[in-house]
Amino acid sequence: MNKTPYLDDWSDIDTKLYNRSVKLFNAVRNMLSVKLDLHADPQFLEGDIFLFNHFSRFETFIPQFLIYEQTGAYSCAIASSEFFHEDNVLSRYLKQVGVFPHNHQRLFALLAGQILRGRKVIIFPEGGMVKDRRVIDKRGHYSIYSRVTGNRRKLHTGPAVLCQGVETFKAAIRHAHSQNDVALLRQWKDTLLIDSIDQLIAVANKPTLIVPANITFYPIRSSENLLFKGVELFSSGLSLRQSEELLIEGNIMLKNTDMDIRLGTPVNPCGIWDWRIRYLMGKVVPEIHTIDDVFTLHARPKNWKQRLLGAYFIKNAQCSRDRYMEAIYANVTINLSHLAATLIMYCIEQGQTQIEKNTFYTILYIAIKHLQNNTVIHLHRSLLNPDDYSDLFKATNKRFDYFICAAKEAGLIDEDENSYRFLPKLLTESDFDSIRLENPIVVYNNEAAPLHTVLDTLIAAIVECANADVIKLAAWHFEDECRALAWEKQAYSAYLTDDIGKEEAAVADSSPFFIQPEHANGFGVLLIHGLLASPAELRGYGDYLVDRGYTVLGIRLKGHGTSPHALRDQSREDWYGCVQRGFNILKVHCSRIFVTGFSTGGALALKLAAEHPAEMVGVIAVSVPLKFVNPAFMLVPLLHGTNTLVAWVSAFEGVKPFIDNEPEHPAINYRNIPVRALYELRLLIAQLDELLPQISLPALVLYGDQDPIVSVKGAPIIMEKLGSEHKRIEVIESKRHGILMENINNTWGVIDKFLMGLQT
């Protein structure tokens, strides 16, 4: 408690300043690198007291302003008394936007008054839980390290006490109404600044609810930043706590960080009141004349009824505390760093000093796939979007790389070519105010620890990894390809209503497909569609092959089957990555594989043949766009360079980001061609000069003699450069481009002969 008590009253919210602050917050939010997502059922926002796991000082205002944006309700918050020691600009601003010092002698009464007026209250009940290694014991009980005493203590019950106090005063209002005590009701209406007695009664009949919520930052960064350096220039002797907060929070503001705010199911601390409490309430509420009377029932009871009711309130508050603290930490947004840290700490507990890298990646991947089907926990979007986790096995995952680099810089792990080694510092006790800097692995582990499902799933994944089912892994990888399509559709859904989106008519199912025949012949065929199309282009041919005993996988190239804007954001490496993943999935089912590609897919098939000759039986390249009928396409590199220049010097999209297209199959193909995609295609074709001589596999090259898009003049060039001894060219009589999709002049039969000739 302050030596000099605060004034009993406190400034009311300055609504004009509050509204200006919200606008400023939105402007700053757009400038910062924080990606902020609020996950909340609209009904949850109707709660009264919102509890957050306080991770840092930076987000103190964010819940206040977000709730105002969503509901129009002003929110109060509690801050450390250190902000109010002096009468300065900051302390006056905090008072005017509804922030109260944590040690105000009438804190609960003031906050209760705000709630009764329809305001929300934001509380950060335990700021240090994420820093505390032993926040939850093996029996699931919570406790926290106290800086003041240096010992562990039970978690605070303040929010539950406040909630029960508000509900008790509401009971007093209802009692006064039942007794028709208009004078008392009018007194309370005036004190609370409520418009009418009817409104006061309506407030009294609404249950008071606590909404547990969680803020999760990802990733945690601790490198020096501009904020830290700036403060360091003008301050000397920063405390350890201040330095840690500036390093962590400066990076939250100034570097790309995901901030997930997740509201849980509301808790009603008074919903479990038994008959004894209700009986005593009936005896005590007639004695309540002010809000302050409610919060002195235990500290200064006037009789045995108040003393006994206060004791019951304390016990009930402890039960409620356990419920809402558990809910707060059940709403952590689990990310890859949580999984990796939990796995590392579990391995250390089992006496391991290192883990083989491929084993580590496989365990994490298996855990991710199982957790995706778990409805109990919440996953960060990077564990739901395959683009963010499917490259774990290639050790090129940016999020995982950052986690490993941070752990290495902190002296927690080391690595060689094949393994990660766990260093002794992982088990060293860190100072409470430096742990986020010194041991981010323990911090991530602490944050995930209350969710037993995370550790249980990882333990199960360890067992599963030891007896890895390659068929199951392949099925998961194919599922990832389907999941990637759904994520891409969602990511570019906003473009459906722009001018480009309205012109598109592609409605065919663009999903990748994997089909196994009833009587397999032992061979597999990987099908790669063309530019602007989707797997739907080759689905009919895939069914035809399955009828002949082939196992078929039709892969989707990124950017296709969703939006031309999505295609504009992809590169030839992205397309080829899809081909490689499809090939690896098919390899699990068939050791002898043919690869067939149409148009751009044909160029990708030839690239794959050059790089994986030992794993393929033959390659079929149909209508490879080495040369175009329309000579304007040859100007694409110049046009793309112009677009890049314009985009660099202005905010506009470029001179001509898309070219009109009249597709043969509007239900499958885009009507707008991104110039970037044509540019990437030209770069891919340029690669063939070097790749074609390296191909030693049997190859079949097909072209339409009057193809309106791809010139047949490219056929002899390919044949001349192909390094294969067994190579054939077939020219199909056709005035259309889609000779493979439409089976023009028995294109499928021509390919059949080639396939059959290689099966003896």
487 and 353 both lie in a single domain:
no
Q: How far apart are CA 566 and CA 560, in angstroms?
A: 7
Crossing angle for the helix pair 600-611 and 675-691, to the nearest 10 degrees: 40
Contact indicator for 378, 213 with CB cutoff of 8 Å? no
Enter the tokens of residue 25. 């917050």
| CATH number of the domain within which 527 lies | 3.40.50.1820
Contact indicator for 392, 340 with CB cutoff of 8 Å? no
Strands of 548-626, DSSP E: 551-555, 592-598, 618-622
122 and 265 both lie in a single domain:
yes
Residue 728's nearest CA partner among 579, 626, 618 is 618
462 and 585 both lie in a single domain:
no
* Predicted local confidence at residue 739, as pLDDT: 97
239 and 356 both lie in a single domain:
no
Q: Is residue 16 part of a domain?
A: no
236 and 194 both lie in a single domain:
no
Name the residue range of residue 244's domain: 223-256
Q: Is residue 549 part of a domain?
A: yes
Q: Is residue 370 part of a domain?
A: yes
279 and 232 both lie in a single domain:
no
626 and 656 both lie in a single domain:
yes
For 568-588, write each residue's pLDDT tens digit: 999 999 999 999 999 999 999
313 and 213 both lie in a single domain:
yes
Q: Ramachandran region of residue 447, left (φ > 0), alpha (ψ -120 to 50) or beta? A: alpha
67 and 130 both lie in a single domain:
yes
β-pairing verdict for 152-153 and 210-218: unpaired
Q: How far apart are CA 465 and CA 453, in angstroms?
A: 18
Enter the tokens of residue 203. 């407030």
Q: How far apart are CA 545 and CA 149, in angstroms?
A: 75
Residue carrying the six token digits 């079949």: 700
* Predicted local confidence at residue 647, as pLDDT: 59
485 and 441 both lie in a single domain:
no
Element (H, E) at 158: helix 158-178
Alpha helices in 193-239 (DSSP H): 197-204, 226-234
Enter the tokens of residue 543. 């069914």
Residue carrying the six token digits 């044909």: 602
pLDDT mean for each 10 residues of the chain (760 residues): 69 90 79 77 91 62 83 87 80 88 90 93 67 53 53 69 91 94 94 92 93 84 43 43 44 63 89 83 90 85 86 84 84 94 95 94 96 94 92 76 87 93 84 64 87 95 93 96 96 91 91 97 97 97 98 98 95 96 96 96 97 92 91 64 59 71 93 90 92 96 95 94 95 96 97 92
Contact indicator for 276, 316 with CB cutoff of 8 Å? no
Q: Is residue 512 part of a domain?
A: yes
What phi, psi does 301 have (nearest 5°)?
A: -70, 145
Residue 483 neighbours by CB distance under 10 Å:
17
122 and 143 both lie in a single domain:
yes
Q: How far apart are CA 578 and CA 558, in angstroms?
A: 7
Q: How far apart are CA 484 and CA 535, in angstroms?
A: 14
Name the β-bridge partners of 414. 421
What is the number of structural domains in the chain? 4
486 and 442 both lie in a single domain:
no
Last residue of a domain, one of 409, 437, 468: 468
* Predicted local confidence at residue 152, as pLDDT: 52
Last residue of a domain, one of 290, 311, 330: 330
* Predicted local confidence at residue 301, as pLDDT: 83
Last residue of a domain, one of 303, 330, 357: 330
Q: Is residue 718 part of a domain?
A: no
Residue 109's nearest CA partner among 16, 250, 9 is 9
